[in-house]
Amino acid sequence: MQPPVLTLAECSKRFGDRLAVRKADLEVAAGETVVVLGPNGAGKSTLIKCVSGAVEPTSGEIVFMGEPLPAGDPRGSDRKSTRLNSSHGYI
């Protein structure tokens, strides 16, 4: 069994005192399709923005192809961001 292409471990995002995403865990295998569903205001877009590098998670870890996406780099490093967007689309 291959390791997951994408892993989120207790990924959270706060905007001030508002918790937008709380301890999200996710593993995505190569070739797998994932759909994020939920009501308005549930944090779906914020979670996707964290994965794509547009927003930095407040806590937790995002690992792409075995390498943690670096905190503080809004693109998750140009090399990793390009690989994520071109090879897997926006997840």
20-72 pLDDT, tens per residue? 999 999 999 999 999 999 999 999 999 999 988 889 999 999 999 999 987 66
Position 79 confidence tier, pLDDT thresholds 50, 70, 90: very low
Confidence class of residue 74 from pLDDT cuts 50, 70 and 90? low
Residue type, 9: A
Which SS3 state, helix, strand or coil, does residue 16 take? coil
CA–CA separation, 39 and 3 (whole Å): 31
Q: For residue 91, what pLDDT is reported?
A: 45
pLDDT of residue 52: 86
Record the pTM: 0.76
What is d(CA 70, CA 53) in angstroms, rounded to the nearest whole number? 9
Position 39 scores a pLDDT of: 95
